[in-house]
């Protein structure tokens, strides 16, 4: 089996998917904009070949180059797990005659309006919404939908350029900031808790799902630097309180006709129990949430995903053992990390429950917290009991400090 894999080196979990494919016996051919030498070691080790292209966003150029590179060789699958290149993947499939999602099938996963229209037609509760390409259209949508509302890019990711607008005064402040955005989605603001519904799906049937809880909701985490955002993969996603979200998740996969691979949906749970659809990607979640799933169930979902892609079914029996918390840290100050405070104490107390220390080391340049969810790194910990897990996560939030100095 020969698999073309777009961007094997970025984001950071991609090499693990390449490993998964090679472990189930596929030959993996990478396409990316990094030099071969810059690829992470794991990606390099598991790739059979690699084509560097000048610009992954220039879809037509990439398709042409890949066509020439492939020549008469047979390609069985084209896999793209990065949000921005989903349509490129579909174009490559089309150009090379490879089965899998078409451009037409991919669009509802990339365009937040098409997505919600499809789901509305299937009777799924979405926020009231409208597409707008000009200031006048935004104003008209605001009239229809009413405050408070959310304005965001139609194909956004990472909460970039996403604004909560409570009133007319705020709208006037936000409008100039949207001039660079070609097209936006205007939505009713849903005041709620936010969860994921992530699946491994094969032949349109969900084989495994995960629910993660965002603490606090991403928009809040993304607008307050002092917060250490948490993502909690829940040990008991089957609990009654989440049942309507799961039901919605199943309905969404069906309505969009997703077939094989990972999906990542976000949904809202209101205080009155109502569930509202947020968004869905035809790809795995980022920020190492796939690793969280692995730590929750002690399985290797990178390999299980690869089995689905190559052989149409997964092999693992799922045992849900742990709640897994990831706590992302943002250093105080600018420049390089000079000190990490509180880590030794937490390490001593949490012992085996602390499964991953991904913090930037002392001496490293701190990252731009607005541009990366991972910020200055994270700790990942797990515990069978949810309250214990949350208490530990909160202590990482308050007691662990990274200090930076120019």
Binding at 288: pick from Mg ion, ligand ATP, none (beta carbon under 5-8 Å per type): none
Residue 187 interacting partner from ligand ATP, Mg ion, none (CB closer than 5 to 8 Å by kind):
ligand ATP
Burial class (CB in 10 A: 0-12, 13-18, 19+), 108: buried
- Is residue 216 close enough to count as binding ligand ATP by CB under 6 A? no
Q: How far is the CB of 195 from ligand ATP (least distance, A)?
A: 10
DSSP 3-state of 400: coil
CB of 110 to ligand ATP, least distance (A): 10
Report d(CA 185, CA 131) in Å as an integer: 5
What is the contact mask toward ligand ATP in residues 226 to 265, using x (rule: CB under 6 A)? Answer: ----------------------------------------
Of 150, 149, 256, give the one whose Cα is nearest residue 201: 256
Nearer CB in complex with ligand ATP: 63/370? 370
Q: Are strands 2-6 and 77-80 parallel, antiparallel or unpaired?
A: parallel
CA distances from 306 to 19, 48, 202, 207, 234 (A): 9, 16, 11, 13, 24
Residue 150 binds which entry of Mg ion, ligand ATP, none, CB below 5-8 Å type-dependent: ligand ATP
User: How many chain residues are in contact with ligand ATP, going by CB under 6 A?
Assistant: 20
Per the CB < 8 A criterion, the answer to whether 229 and 278 are in contact is no
Tell whether residue 302 is a contact of ligand ATP (CB under 6 A): no
Given CA atoms 287, 291, 296, 300 in this order, what sign does their dihedral have? Answer: positive
Q: Quick one: angle between helices 103-110 and 86-96, nearest 10?
A: 180
* 58 Cβ contact list (under 8 Å, min separation 6): none
28 vs 293, beta carbon nearer Mg ion: 293
Q: Is 150 near ligand ATP (CB under 6 A)?
A: yes
Count H helices, E strands: the chain? 14, 19
CA distances from 253 to 58, 78, 175, 306, 322 (A): 29, 21, 34, 19, 26
Instruction: Provide the minimum distance between the beta carbon of 264 and Mg ion in the complex, in angstroms, as a whole number.
Output: 9
Residues from 241 through 300 that contact Mg ion (CB under 5 A): 266
Confirm or reject binding of residue 282 to ligand ATP (CB under 6 A). Answer: no
Q: How far is the CB of 326 from ligand ATP (least distance, A)?
A: 14
Q: How many residues bind Mg ion (CB under 5 A)?
A: 1
Q: Answer yes or no whether residue 187 interacts with ligand ATP by CB under 6 A.
A: yes
Work out how close the CB of 355 gets to ligand ATP at its nearest, in angstroms, rounded to a whole number: 24
Residue 279: CB minimum distance to Mg ion, A: 5
17-25, 216-224, 336-344, 359-367 -> range binding ligand ATP (CB under 6 A): 216-224
DSSP tag of 85:
G
Residues interacting with Mg ion, by CB under 5 A?
A: 266
């Amino acid at each position: 089996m020969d698999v073309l894999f777009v961007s094997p080196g970025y984001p950071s979990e991609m090499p693990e998917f390449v490993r998964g494919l090679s472990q189930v016996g596929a030959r993996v051919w990478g396409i990316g904009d990094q030099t071969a030498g810059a690829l992470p070691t794991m990606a390099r080790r598991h790739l059979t070949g690699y084509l560097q292209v000048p610009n992954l966003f220039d879809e037509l150029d990439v398709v042409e180059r890949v066509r020439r590179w492939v020549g008469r060789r047979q390609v069985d699958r084209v896999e793209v797990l990065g949000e921005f290149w989903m349509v490129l993947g579909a174009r490559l499939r089309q150009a090379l005659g490879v089965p899998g999602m078409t451009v037409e099938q991919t669009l509802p996963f990339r365009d937040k309006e098409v997505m919600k229209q499809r789901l509305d037609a299937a009777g799924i509760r979405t926020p009231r919404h409208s597409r707008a390409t000009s200031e006048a259209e935004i104003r008209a949508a605001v009239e229809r939908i009413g405050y408070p509302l959310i304005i965001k890019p139609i194909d956004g990711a990472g909460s970039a350029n996403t604004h909560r607008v409570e009133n007319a005064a705020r709208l006037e402040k936000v409008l100039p900031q949207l001039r660079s955005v070609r097209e936006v989605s205007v939505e009713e603001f849903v005041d709620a808790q936010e969860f994921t519904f992530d699946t491994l799906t094969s032949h349109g049937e969900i084989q495994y799902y995960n629910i993660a809880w965002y603490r606090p909701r991403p928009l809040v985490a993304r607008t307050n630097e002092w917060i250490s955002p948490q993502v909690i993969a829940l040990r008991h996603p089957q609990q009654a309180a989440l049942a309507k979200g799961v039901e919605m998740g199943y309905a969404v996969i069906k309505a969009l006709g997703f077939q094989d691979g990972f999906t990542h949906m976000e949904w809202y749970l209101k205080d009155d129990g109502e569930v509202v659809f947020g968004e869905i990607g035809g790809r795995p979640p980022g920020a190492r949430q796939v690793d969280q799933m692995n730590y929750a169930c002690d399985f290797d979902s990178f390999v299980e995903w690869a089995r689905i892609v190559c052989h149409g079914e997964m092999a693992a029996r799922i045992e849900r053992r742990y709640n897994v918390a990831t706590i992302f840290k943002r250093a105080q100050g600018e420049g390089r990390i000079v000190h990490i405070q509180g880590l030794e104490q937490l390490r001593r107390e949490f012992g085996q429950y602390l499964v991953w220390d991904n913090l930037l080391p002392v001496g490293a340049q701190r990252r731009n917290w607005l541009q990366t969810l991972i910020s200055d790194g994270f700790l990942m910990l797990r515990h069978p009991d949810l309250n214990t897990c949350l208490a530990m996560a909160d202590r990482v939030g308050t007691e662990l400090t990274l200090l930076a100095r120019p």
